[in-house]
């Protein structure tokens, strides 16, 4: 299992939200470029960037991110307001390594069908696409966790797999931003149902002990944010762990 450091940006500032609430925000005194440089200098190859402005349809951060991507070898996994095929193409063309699709994939079946047609070969999708599933008590949430989908979690997983999508970023909302441990029960349920999926775990990771607990399962990667900013997990620990994990990532 590979550790992917997370960076949330709002108005070009590095921030963290608690449970996705824009009125419960912590701002960090470091720029996105500095954070990416810090991770890269310590051997990290992937970084997870969520554009909180983009999630609301404001892409004022986008060119700022594109300019940084041009100057780094870091592979960026990006999410935030990706709600059109044109936006997916734009991001990939700009050098984003993985594009995360969430709300539009849930609410617009035609979007998911077209994305499958463009990026999947009928069996397996391009490495460029990650399907985000944000879950609160097994209910799929979208639009910044403000709306609930009537889709059953397992049914949605099966639909995505049927279209060729195999990599999922799953956030346990109950755990996110609380540093109380990862949603292992949720991830185990998904993997027991579909062992072929590539699962990226997100939410609640507070220590290397949580990382080790996740590593007991068939989880491809995990996203870690707040625990790094609050010095519960060091970049050196991430580097050491990822050097061992990279061969299988």
* Helix, coil or strand: residue 24: strand
**In Å, what is the CA distance from 63 to each residue of 59, 96, 167, 217?**
8, 12, 27, 38
- Other Cβ atoms within 10 Å of 84 Cβ, number: 14
Structure tokens of 170? 């799953």
Select from 184, 235, 236 the least CA-distant residue to 205: 184
Are the CB atoms for 195 and 224 separated by under 8 Å? no
Residues marked active site are found at 8, 134
- Other Cβ atoms within 10 Å of 27 Cβ, number: 11
Q: Helices 153-162 and 184-193 sit at what angle, rounded to 10 degrees? A: 50
* Helix, coil or strand: residue 185: helix
């Amino acid at each position: 299992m590979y550790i992917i450091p997370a960076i949330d940006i709002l108005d070009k500032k590095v921030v963290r939200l608690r449970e996705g609430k824009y009125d419960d925000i912590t701002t960090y005194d470091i720029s996105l470029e500095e954070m990416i440089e810090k991770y890269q200098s310590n051997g990290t190859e992937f970084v997870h960037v969520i554009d909180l402005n983009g999630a609301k349809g404001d892409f004022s951060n986008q060119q700022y991110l594109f300019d940084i991507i041009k100057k780094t070898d870091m592979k960026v996994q990006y999410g935030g307001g990706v709600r059109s095929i044109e936006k997916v193409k734009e991001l990939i063309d700009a050098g984003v390594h993985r594009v995360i699709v969430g709300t539009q994939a849930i609410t617009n079946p035609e979007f998911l069908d077209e994305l499958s047609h463009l990026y999947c070969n009928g069996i397996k999708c391009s490495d460029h696409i990650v399907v985000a599933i944000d879950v609160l008590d097994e209910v799929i949430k979208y639009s910044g966790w403000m709306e609930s989908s009537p889709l059953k979690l397992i049914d949605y997983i099966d639909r995505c797999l049927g279209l060729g999508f195999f990599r999922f970023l799953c956030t346990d909302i109950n755990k996110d931003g609380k540093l109380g441990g990862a949603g292992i029960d949720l991830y185990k349920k998904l993997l027991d149902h579909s062992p072929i999926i590539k699962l990226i775990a997100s939410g609640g990771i507070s220590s290397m002990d949580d990382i080790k607990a996740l590593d007991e399962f068939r989880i491809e990667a995990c996203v870690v944010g707040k625990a790094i900013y609050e010095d519960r997990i060091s970049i050196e620990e991430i580097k050491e762990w990822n050097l061992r994990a990279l061969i299988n990532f």
